[in-house]
A and B are shown apart, each in its own frame.
Chain A
Amino acid sequence: MAQSEQEQVPGAPPPGGEGNGWRKEYWSKNLRLMVVLLAIWFVVSFGCGILFVEQLNQVVIAGFPLGFWFAQQGSIYVFIVLIAVYALRMDRLDDEYGVSERNDDGSRS
């Protein structure tokens, strides 16, 4: 596939419309995803692991007081999931707006 640097070609993906309008849209979708993921990041680590740890510790599952589990185990698992979701969603977003990185044959690089 030819490496086209053109901004507009007939049959282009719909979002964005004319000129650089797509940039704003792409960026605001990126920011929205980021804010949601960072909110979860904060709630799980600082919320469950620190601010409400004592209340959650009243619940014990498989020997783990729940707050303690979030602070020493659960938060780390959630961090991994958050980055995974981010990477996958950004792949889709990049494709949607035609800004994903491709090799000359069109495969992902």
Chain B
Amino acid sequence: MSDIQTWALVFVALSFAVYIYIAWRSRVRETKGFFVAEQNIPAVANGAAVAADWMSAASFISMAGLIAFLGSDGSVYLMGWTGGYVLLALLLAPYLRKWGKFTVPEFVGDRYSETVRSVAALVAIIVSFTYVVGQMAGGGIVFSRFLQVPQAGGVAIAAVVIFAYAVFGGMKGITWTQVAQYTVLIVAYLIPAWAVAQTMTGIAVPQVSFGQILAELDAIGQEFGMAVFTEAFTARPQIDVFLVTMSLMIGTAGLPHVIIRFYTTKTVRGARYSALWALIFIGLLYTTAPAVGAFTKLNMLQGVQGVSTSALPSWVANWQATGLVSVAEGTETIGTITNSADDFAAGQADMFLNNDILVLASPEIAGLPAPIVGLVAAGGLAAAMSTAAGLLLVISSSASHDLYFRYVDHHASERRRLLVSRIAMGLAVLVSIYFGINPPAFVAQVVAFAFGLAASTFFPMLLLGIFWKRANAIGAVSGMIAGLALTGTYMIYTLEVFGTQAHEHIAGVSPEGVGAIGALVNLIVTIVVSKATRPPSEHVQEMVERIRYPAARQVARSATRAAE
């Protein structure tokens, strides 16, 4: 492994040097630079930044493996985490950009009331913290696997680099590093994928060629006690696949760290094209992931099929040390495989494969040289760090801009505001380092919370705020409370969190899927309560009117164009 370690070190050090250089180049002196990157980011660059912001350590390292084991139902993640961009592009991004201030809670404050703004700021902080903890832990895992640095040290190193560009450059520094990080992560993802596709089918475009091996995969999976790969609804009932997909889409469109990325474009038009570029960049990885999962799974299963445990392929031994692969003691030939550590510990399968192994080991299985494997380490770190930075910005801006200046320091000067925002960012980094090293036991469950909360609170509130002038503050508050209460209660009822007991799912609805129902309830309650109470002021209705048109009407233009 030492060759791989050297290359991993080279690529990680190189990429970090680039990030620090960008941090230095994009120092800011104003809050407008710190919060919205001076609203001067070109659409393509912003699209790449959105993509890096969005694709987390989990997307990069775990998703392909997760889909490989879920089979057809892995589509909930593929459609759920891309379809939300259609909602963002058509329903939210252009209008929020036209409104043109700093944070999501700030919009809600202008549109509804100051109380709603405070509640929204708190929800934004909670959602972002639950999410950032996973990113920090993910970064630490990459460090410990590729560079043999202890996880705590890895988290600290990644955090120091994030600290450098997030504290000094704010949104501007974060944006340009995210563009660099997208480049690193997509190259690191696609090269091994192309190589694997080429080796297995002779066609280097995995999106096209993985069809050829699906029938084989269906057959071999069954021999190992798995469900038919291409058959729908083997992992979740149909109703749940529907609801989870919907929840992830709505949640994506409602996550503050994604929405604020659209505040940084030059124009409303720029926000629309940013969404297009973002989905193209994200789609590049998301259409490749299921192919990587299928190829590597087939490769692995063929490698261990009917072979005695003393003659297993070399990747088994190489990765056994990391605990990502285990073979049950006393097994002679491997008959059953699972990705559940619990099932394996209970003796229900001969072999355990962690989801992450499919991406991490695929270059090795395809026989790619050490530098490529090293590149994968830099890619995983780029994915984790870019997402963490975007989340930290939401935490810092909500805490300073939406709460501190309004409740504590009303008359802060511009200089002081920038300083306080930097301190808030610094504190957020410190807290996330602590939780990244000591992740609370419920973190894995809590990511479901993040999407459910965003889906059942922010999305309906923003949607009605833009498209229905009649929506008022009391309606929005009632809707938010109703959506939050339903989603939160059901999650606590079905998940084992904070020491509560997990109950059976009602009607097949999983806690990941309840966000869609919460959003619907929120919509209905907001509409009913708004109708029963007084409409918002003229001033607010005029604001809603204004954000619907990209620019003031220019009537002399047609004459200019006719002359061209």
List A residues at the B interface (Cβ < 8 Å).
1-9, 11-13, 22-23, 26-27, 30, 34, 37-38, 41, 45-46, 49-51, 53-54, 57, 61-65, 67-69, 71-73, 75-77, 79-80, 82-84, 86-87, 90-91, 94-95, 97-102, 106, 108-109
Contacts and interface: CB of A to CB of B under 8 A. Distances in A.
26 contacts: A1-B560, A3-B554, A4-B554, A4-B556, A8-B555, A11-B556, A13-B558, A41-B86, A49-B75, A62-B208, A62-B211, A63-B214, A68-B75, A71-B79, A73-B207, A75-B79, A76-B78, A76-B286, A80-B280, A83-B275, A83-B279, A86-B90, A98-B554, A98-B558, A100-B550, A106-B560
B230 A106 contact: no
B283 A80 contact: yes
Contacts of B383: none
Contact of B557 (A51, A54, A106, A109): A106
B238 interface: yes
B524 interface: no
Nearest to B276: A83
Interface in B522-561: 545, 548-560
A22 B549 CA distance: 11
A80 B287 CA distance: 12
Given A13-B555, A83-B86, A100-B551, A77 B283 contact: yes
The list of the 7 closest CB pairs from A to B, nearest first, reads: A63-B211, A71-B75, A12-B555, A64-B211, A87-B272, A101-B267, A9-B555
Interface of B: 67, 72, 74-75, 78-79, 82-83, 85-86, 89-91, 94, 207-208, 210-215, 230-233, 238, 241-242, 245-246, 266-269, 272-273, 275-276, 279-280, 283, 286-287, 290, 545, 548-560
A97 B267 CA distance: 17
Contact of A63 (B212, B232, B266): B212
Contacts of A45: 79, 83, 245
Contacts of A71: 72, 75, 78-79, 232
A80 B75 CA distance: 17
A105 to B, nearest CB: 10
A100 B287 contact: no
Contact of A26 (B215, B242, B549): B549
Nearest to A27: B548
Given A45-B245, A95-B557, 18 more contacts: A4-B555, A9-B555, A34-B90, A34-B91, A51-B242, A62-B211, A65-B230, A68-B230, A72-B290, A75-B82, A83-B276, A86-B272, A98-B553, A99-B549, A100-B551, A101-B551, A102-B551, A109-B267
B63 to A, nearest CB: 12
Contacts of B272: 83, 86-87, 90
A2 B287 contact: no
Contacts of B211: 61-64, 69
B283 A63 contact: no
A75 B560 CA distance: 41
A73 B232 contact: no
A22 B559 CA distance: 18
Contacts of A6: 555
B230 A73 contact: no
A59 B553 CA distance: 51
B195 to A, nearest CB: 20
Contact of A9 (B94, B268, B283, B556): B556
A64 B553 CA distance: 50
Given A63-B211, A68-B232, A87-B276, A50 B269 contact: no
A98 B283 contact: no
A99 B232 contact: no
Contact of A108 (B269, B280, B548): B269
B82 A50 contact: no
A91 B75 CA distance: 33
A86 to B, nearest CB: 6
B554 A99 contact: yes
A109 to B, nearest CB: 5
